[in-house]
Amino acid sequence: MQFEITKEYIEKIQQLITEGKNETLQHLLEEVHYADVAELITELETDEAIYLIKLLENDVSSDVIAELDEDDRENILKGLSSKEIAEELDELDTDDAADIIGELSEKQKEEVIAHLDDVEHAKEIVELLRYDEDTAGGLMAKELVKVNENWNVLTCVKEMRAQAEEVTRVHSIYVVDDNDILKGRLSLKDLLTTSTRSPITDVFIKNVDSVNVHEAADEVAKIMQKYDLEAIPVVDEIGRLVGRITIDDIVDVIKEEAEKDYQMAAGISKDVEADDTILELTKARLPWLVLALFGGFVSVSILGGFSEAMDNYPVLFFFTPLIAAMAGNVGVQSSAIIVQGLANDSLRGSLFKRLIKEVLQSLLNGFVLAALLMSAGMFFLGFQFKVGLTVAISLISVIIIASIIGTFVPIILDKRGIDPALATGPFITTSNDIFGILIYFLIAKLILGF
Amino acid sequence: MQFEITKEYIEKIQQLITEGKNETLQHLLEEVHYADVAELITELETDEAIYLIKLLENDVSSDVIAELDEDDRENILKGLSSKEIAEELDELDTDDAADIIGELSEKQKEEVIAHLDDVEHAKEIVELLRYDEDTAGGLMAKELVKVNENWNVLTCVKEMRAQAEEVTRVHSIYVVDDNDILKGRLSLKDLLTTSTRSPITDVFIKNVDSVNVHEAADEVAKIMQKYDLEAIPVVDEIGRLVGRITIDDIVDVIKEEAEKDYQMAAGISKDVEADDTILELTKARLPWLVLALFGGFVSVSILGGFSEAMDNYPVLFFFTPLIAAMAGNVGVQSSAIIVQGLANDSLRGSLFKRLIKEVLQSLLNGFVLAALLMSAGMFFLGFQFKVGLTVAISLISVIIIASIIGTFVPIILDKRGIDPALATGPFITTSNDIFGILIYFLIAKLILGF
């Protein structure tokens, strides 16, 4: 059932563009879903893409433009005049139109808005531009179906038919009073099964979840997931219905949150993709590497401080990468579990209980690993018992400390209102490298007394 | 608008349970959403939770049970008889019921199915149990509204009313022929705006996306996201309509995929949560730590092999954690970018181009970091120029190699049908530690000639 964009297909399209065979192109793309056209567009050269966008009917090209990545869209919009952009936006729902306008320069923004044909639509888009994109207001669309609580079912159906023309998909019918205050919702099912003369007041569901227009986007996502909602009405400070958010927008929020956490854990500080430029990729990666480098300098100094151990116990220095790696891995594991727990609101119990749990768990992991280390060390690597014991005890201590740091840094960050995901990745590995090596040599000095 | 479960609220509920004040409890929980009851349940002791579940009406308690985490649900179902479980499942949609039955032991599964009251419902649940949970069949529900293409709008509306009784939310009305072959779908909007005598054939949308019952769950998620679908019909091998998948199930798939990738990057091999037992957490974490330990042994051996360098250049050994950390961090960054690109199908261009890009990017990062290292090393740490140069050249080489490994290991895994996310985390850091240290000392030997 899925449309596959092959190399041959792309070449064919490119040839038709070169030859200017507009009718063949239009005919060929008529049956193709806008999401597939968007995918095709990203495979073309920018001038070819612009040619195609201009060729398509506005109701298709606008959806294609809305579907594109921000970077791809930017390239294409550069090839369109403000009037042409406005024509595309006239076809889009207010939320998509507002998102696209929000990406334009201040100057172009004004020009495009001035060119919008439908004044009502333009007013709604301008209203949406006022909200921060990470809030309910930034996610919502103005398109919705609403009825007055004083109507009867027949009036409702008539009004809904008119309103539904403007709305792509009817999720819910919202019920408001004369002041536009949200009162409840009407299910299509009830509407189908009720006598046309019943007053709406008898039919509608009075208890309806809603969010305030300033609610944070990730909070909206949590609410919609928890209560399994496919759409949620958005109200202003005094309870007036101002828009609605649908689940497909929330899917994007969830994906972005997850990608951001993942990138932070991997030490990438900006939202980048494999196909971004080398400079963009470097900007996202280099800061973390510089952090790791400075962390590395600290461990160089620590090791330098213990250089007297080299005379009698050179083998200690062979173990530093092992100790550092274990500290890093344990720390990342602990913090990842906490970061996910915080994201899902599933962290329960007191901090003290959590501390005990981490220590017990680390002891269990630590003893298993230390036993492995001792046996492997003595049988295969053949080093002294005393050195083996030193490394083993250090390993257990380092694992305990690393897991405590890994557990509590994200909790502390979260309490201070900082994204706990920041703690994972290079931050934890670097600090645990340093603590790990320091603890290791302190214990070695205590036991071996160099 | 959100319900907040406070400590006081939990204590109140617990006291009412102890005192056996059933009516007060029922009255208190009447207005509470099942998702909130589920949250409350997880805060109670198991016997209190079971008491509450038994007290609630089946239509509420069944939703509560479906909402719980698998672990919490297991505990509670242990306290219910097979007949009681069957009574709960009778209230649930087929997909949720099948998921819950799938978690039971073989013996209890049969008992529960035998106790299901509604034979039609039971048959559908048994059918769903046949499908792998990671396929469209495993995600779909049997509840849907379908009409025959030969009916007219009036018959449709009548039939739909009857069918809609069984279905919680009507997403789409599917159109089938006499053999149940999916022909298209009917929009509620069109139905509202068409004369009742029109034949369905004139109204319905012939082009409808559908997925095969054996399609992989993540593929279904991609299709639904790409085409912005809120529900998709599922067909069998010969095109018969067998069920439908809704976007809320897909939200779960997306979240689970993202969490799995994140956990893999953090070196956690099973789906665990912060509140799992110590043993479960250890099982998920220890395998990766053992891998890292064995990787550590390899680096110990490599360093041991270069021990002659200790006489003249002891400072080289102080830099091993720094080199290893940089290799690990660069490798994880590279593989995370690739893993996300693969997950989003956004990786374009040839492997050769990607190789060139990684090398150029690494050179850029490498030179900046090497310059920092040289200046810091000479001014603050005060080591010889030759040693500084050695470390700097090694650093650049290690960054290049680590980023190439980080880029291509996930690509190769993906081509072989293995989850590329496996490459991130401890796997990449450990192998890059080893390669990093080896390259470092080989270059040092070449330049310094010990």
Mutate to test the interface with B, among A332, A347, A372 (most CBs of B within 10 A): A332
Report CB contact under 8 Å: A290, B258: no
Instruction: State how far the Cα of A341 lies from the Cα of A296, in Å rounded to an integer.
Output: 30
| Cα–Cα distance measured from residue A428 to residue A402, given in angstroms and rounded to the nearest whole number | 9
* Domain presence at residue A262: no
pLDDT-based confidence at residue B64 (cuts at 50, 70, 90): very high
> Are the beta carbons of B341 and A227 separated by less than 8 Å?
no
Interface test with B, best of A211, A337, A372 (most B CBs within 10 A): A337
Residues of B in contact with A429 (CB under 8 A): 325, 328-329
Instruction: Flag whether residue B164 sits within 8 Å of chain A, measured between CB atoms.
Output: yes
Residue A270 lies inside a defined structural domain of this protein: no
Among the partner-chain residues A170, A324, A426, the one whose CB lies closest to the CB of B189 is A170
Q: Is B141 on the interface with A (CB under 8 A)?
A: no
Structure confidence at residue A1 (pLDDT): 47
Nearest by CB to A262, from B265, B290, B364: name it.
B265
Looking at residue A311, what is its pLDDT? 85
Q: How far apart are CA B289 and CA B361, in angstroms?
A: 31
In a domain, A405, yes or no: yes
Q: Give pLDDT tens digits for A205-261.
A: 888 889 999 999 989 998 998 888 888 999 999 999 999 998 888 888 888 888 888
| Residue where one domain finishes, among candidates A82, A110, A134 | A134
Average pLDDT score over residue span B46-53: 93
State residue A208's pLDDT score: 85
Whether B266 is covered by a domain: the verdict is: no
pLDDT at B179: 93
The reply to whether A283 and A429 lie within a common domain is: yes
Residues A110 and A14 in one domain: yes
Q: Nearest C-alpha of chain A: how many angstroms from B154? A: 12
> Are B325 and B433 members of one domain?
yes
Q: Does the structure show a pLDDT above 70 at A185?
A: yes
The pLDDT value given to residue A339: 87
Which among A226, A274, A372 is the nearest to B346, CB-wise?
Answer: A274
pLDDT digits 0-9 by tens, B337-367? 888 888 877 777 677 888 888 888 899 999 9
- CB-CB under 8 Å, B336 with A262: yes
Q: What is the pLDDT of residue A244?
A: 93
Task: List the single residue in B266, B286, B330 with the smallest CB-CB distance to A289.
Answer: B330
**Across A50-59, B147-156, B427-436, least confident range:** B147-156
Pairwise CA distance, residues B115 & B117, whole Å:
6
CA distance A158 to chain B (A): 9
B262/A259 touch (CB, cutoff 8 Å), yes or no: no
Choose among A242, A222, A223: nearest CA to A234.
A242
CA–CA min distance B171, chain A (Å): 9
Which residue, A134, A164, A193, sits at the end of a domain? A134
Q: State which residue of chain B sits closest to A257, comparing Cα positions.
A: B258
B13 found inside a domain: yes
> A23-71, pLDDT tens digit by residue?
999 998 888 889 999 989 988 999 999 999 999 988 899 999 999 988 8
Cβ contact, residue pair A320, B315, below 8 Å: no
pLDDT in tens, A264-311: 888 887 777 777 788 888 888 898 899 999 999 999 889 989 988 888
Of B314, B354, B372, the CB nearest to A293: B372
Angle, CA A421 vertex, CA A420 and CA A423 arms, to 5° = 75
Do residue B155 and residue B128 come from a single domain? no
A328 and B429 within 8 Å at the Cβ level: the answer is: yes
Q: What is the mean pLDDT of residues A167-185?
A: 84
Best of B42, B228, B414 to disrupt the A interface by mutation (most A CBs within 10 Å)?
A: B228
We report the CATH number of the domain holding residue B322 as: 1.10.357.20
Same domain, B330 and B439: yes
Same structural domain, B306 and B421: yes
- Looking at the structure, tell me whether residues B344 and B212 fall in a common domain: no
Q: Which one of B85, B104, B139 terminates a domain?
A: B139
Cα-based angle A28, A29, A35 (whole degrees, multiple of 5)? 150
For residue B258, give the nearest of A258, A286, A425 by CB distance.
A258
Contact present, A383 and A318 (Cβ < 8 Å): no
- What is the tens place of the pLDDT at every residue in B199-238? 888 888 888 889 999 999 989 998 998 888 888 999 999 9
Q: Does B364 touch chain A (CB under 8 A)?
A: yes
User: Is A121 part of a structural domain of the chain?
Assistant: yes
Q: How far apart are CA B166 and CA A309, in angstroms?
A: 77
Query: Which two three-digit tokens encode residue B45?
Result: 């002791």
Would you state the pLDDT for residue A213? 95
b (16+ CB within 10 A) / e for A85-103: bbbbbbbbbbbbbbbbbee
CATH code of B60's domain: 1.25.60.10
pLDDT in tens, B69-103: 888 899 999 999 999 999 999 999 999 999 999 99
Nearest-by-Cβ selection for B248 from A228, A303, A335: A228
Tell me which chain A residues have a C-beta less than 8 angstroms from the C-beta of B330. 285, 289
For A321, nearest residue in chain B (alpha carbons): B321
Does residue A386 sit within a domain?
yes
- Sheet with B173-176, strands from edge to edge, namely B145-148, B173-176, B182-186
What is the nearest CA distance from A259 to chain B, expressed in angstroms? 8
Tell whether B260 is covered by a domain.
no
Task: Say yes or no to pLDDT of B1 above 60.
Answer: no
Among candidate residues B128, B120, B165, the one with its CA nearest the CA of residue B145: B165
* Whether B3 contacts chain A with CB within 8 A: no
Burial (CB < 10 A; 0-12, 13-18, 19+), residue B413, is buried
- A contacts of B290 (beta carbons < 8 Å): 368-369, 372
List the 427-446 stretch of B: residues with Cβ below 8 A of A: 429-430, 433, 437
Q: Within this chain, do residues B296 and B312 fall inside the same structural domain, yes or no? A: yes
Chain B (174-203) residues lying within 8 Å, Cβ to Cβ, of chain A: 188-189, 192-193
Torsion region of A349: left, alpha or beta (phi above 0 gives left; psi -120 to 50 gives alpha): left
User: What chain B residue is nearest to A264 in terms of C-alpha separation?
Assistant: B333
pLDDT for res A382: 66
φ/ψ bin of A382: left (φ > 0), alpha (ψ from -120 to 50), beta (otherwise): left
* Domain harbouring B233, CATH code: 3.10.580.10
Question: Domain range spanning residue B25?
Answer: 7-139
When scoring A95, A248, A260, A262 by the number of chain B Cβ atoms within 10 A, the one with the most, hence best to mutate, is: A262
Residue A352: C-alpha distances to residues A355, A362, A366, B98 (Å): 5, 15, 21, 40
Whether residues A315 and B304 touch (CB distance < 8 A) is answered with yes
Same domain, A288 and A393: yes
Q: How far is A193 from chain B (nearest CA, A)?
A: 7
Judgement on whether residues B225 and B103 belong to the same structural domain of the protein: no
Contact A369 B289 (CB under 8 A): yes
So what's the ipTM on this one?
Answer: 0.79
Contact B221, A254 (CB under 8 A): no
Does residue B356 sit at the A interface (CB-CB below 8 Å)?
no
Instruction: State the pLDDT confidence band at A165, using cuts at 50, 70 and 90.
Output: low
Domain count, chain A: 3
Find where tokens 């369109």 sit.
A80
Does residue A167 register a pLDDT over 70? Answer: no
Residues B443 and B363 in one domain: yes
Together in a domain, B289 and B352: yes
Pick the closest to residue B44 from B24, B21, B18 (CA basis).
Answer: B18
